[in-house]
Chains A and B, each alone.
Chain A
Amino acid sequence: MNNTNYFINGLKTQNEKVILEIYTNSYPSVRRFVLQNSGQEVDAQDVFQKAIIQIMARVQVQNVVIKSTFDGYLFTACKNLWRRELNKSKRMVTFDQPIELKVEANDMAQSVLEQERWEFFQEKLELISGNCKEILKRFFKKMPYKDIAKELDYSDDNVVRQRVFKCKNKLTQMIKEDNRYNQLKTL
């Protein structure tokens, strides 16, 4: 059921029928996600369109190949973009001086590089062994050690602490060994 090429080609040629199909298939779940996470209808529309344009930039400029379904890839891109927007507004409030608003094209380009880096980290986590992945996913979601112990049936939080330490070191090593890690400076 890999329909990705169909949708990508439809977007490349601005095929009205295909674009409407994308809206019908994917927009309702993106809308629901944004509304459930402090957003409005207008934000959902904005995120949805930006995500599609960014995906097309990645496909056409960076020759990125989408390995999952178009629907799933678009939904993840929208989720990340909305998370970015929410954090962007937090940063602007927190800073003593509001950060200079970048022009839209520049901001979109930065956002693409950030999405790329996010995918790089997720790719590394997927490569780690099953047990480590399970425990680290919970650790990074800030689940307390005792809750991880309970959910994964470890004898106590000390065992969890030691496992987290070992797994985290393994993951760190894998990330650092990849050249992509040093390619971008984070803020």
Chain B
Amino acid sequence: MILSDNLLLQADKYLVNKLTEPELSAFLLELNSNAKLADYVAINKEMSIQFSDTDWQFIETTDANQTKDLQTYFKSDKAIALKSALNDAAKKHKTISESSKANNSRVFSFLAIAASVILLVGLFFLNRTSDIYDSYNSWTELPSMIERGEAKSAILENAEIKFVAKDFAGANKLYTTYLTETKSNNTNVFLYLGITQLELNQNKNALATFDKVIDSDSIDFSKGYWYKALVYLKVKDNSNAIAQLKLITKDNSNYKYNEALKLLSQLE
């Protein structure tokens, strides 16, 4: 039996608690007698938990074998010794952090020396850095708003046509107009604008635009780190590029996580 569109709509409303009292009673009756519907509700419920940022899916295992080996490990001398080693390290780490705070001035001098060393290393790698930048600046991974046939603005369409034709000055003007007129917070538009700025050597503006992506509530915020890293690579500022790449590698759900790891291994 295939679930009707109406039943699926009801199920979706049920999952977000949007059914009225009478609708809910009727739906629950159907849910008890319709295995396919129960299945649909169960998997959709779990997906909404597994992919949320706040909920957690608990499980119940009736098969003791599934947890037996794990439980044995957690009770083992090995695990207890590890816990004790972690406790010792925690204490040491705390002592070190506190003493390093007290010695801030010394740390600053050290950082000044370290910064010079990094600068020298950066100069040494000048050529390699620009090679790296050249291998990442095709911009083909940017989502096309035209290809999907759903760009709702003629300005955005024209801007993208100019962008693809490498008329970055023309595209820059149109993206700026679009953002000024619509007050849009569209992350993709900011990304396109930032790249036109980068291509026009307006590097400070490009960094500020990518900061807006980072500060946005968008799920794509981490793209800002990646494009900032590219700005720094273009101007051969290795230490700042490394700093941005390190921010990406803090969380494996960040944009270009694997590329960032690869680049770091080349730069460091």
Q: Which residues of A contact B (CB under 8 A)?
A: 1-2, 11, 14, 16, 19-20, 22-24, 27, 29, 45, 49, 52-53, 56-57, 60-62, 68-69, 71-73, 75-76, 80, 83-84, 86-88, 91, 104-106, 108-110, 112-114, 117-118, 121-122, 125, 130-131, 134, 136-138, 140-142, 150-155, 159, 165, 168, 171-172, 175-176, 181, 184-187
Contact = CB atoms under 8 A, between A and B. Distances in A.
A129 B145 CA distance: 16
A75 B67 contact: no
B252 A73 contact: yes
Given A114-B59, A159-B150, A14 B85 contact: yes
Q: Which 7 A-B pairs have the closest CB atoms?
A: A140-B51, A109-B67, A121-B50, A109-B70, A23-B93, A1-B265, A105-B74
B44 interface: yes
Contacts of B88: 16, 19
Contact of A185 (B40, B62, B188): B62
B264 interface: yes
Interface string B53-69: 11111111110001101
5 contacts: A23-B90, A52-B82, A73-B252, A136-B51, A185-B59
B61 A185 contact: yes
B10 interface: no
Contacts of A140: 47-48, 51-52
Contact of A45 (B46, B90, B187): B90
Contacts of B89: 16, 19-20, 22-23
Most B CB within 10 A of own CB, among A53, A91, A104? A53
A61 B69 CA distance: 7
Interface string B25-40: 0000000000000001
B81 A14 contact: yes
Contact of B186 (A2, A130, A153): A153
Given A56-B82, A152-B188, A159-B150, 15 more contacts: A20-B93, A23-B90, A29-B250, A53-B83, A60-B73, A62-B70, A68-B261, A113-B61, A117-B50, A140-B48, A141-B51, A165-B8, A172-B47, A184-B66, A186-B60
Contact of A76 (B75, B153, B184, B251): B251
Interface of B: 8, 40, 42-44, 46-48, 50-62, 66-67, 69-71, 73-75, 78-79, 81-83, 85-90, 92-93, 96, 143, 145, 148, 150-153, 156, 184-188, 218-219, 249-253, 257, 261, 264-265, 268
- Looking at chain A's contact residues, the main secondary structure is helix
Most B CB within 10 A of own CB, among A2, A165, A186? A186
Given A16-B89, A19-B89, A45-B90, A125 B51 contact: yes
Contacts of A175: 43, 47
A155 B150 contact: yes
A12 B186 CA distance: 47
B95 to A, nearest CB: 11
Nearest to A113: B59
Contacts of B44: 168, 172
A154 B151 CA distance: 7
Nearest to B85: A14
Contacts of A49: 83, 86-87, 90
A138 B253 contact: no
B74 A108 contact: yes
Contact of A110 (B52, B59, B187): B59
A105 to B, nearest CB: 4
Nearest to B268: A1
Nearest to B55: A87
A99 to B, nearest CB: 10
Contacts of A29: 250
Contacts of B54: 83, 86
A84 to B, nearest CB: 5
A109 B186 contact: no
B60 A16 contact: no
B186 A150 contact: yes
Most B CB within 10 A of own CB, among A72, A136, A176? A72
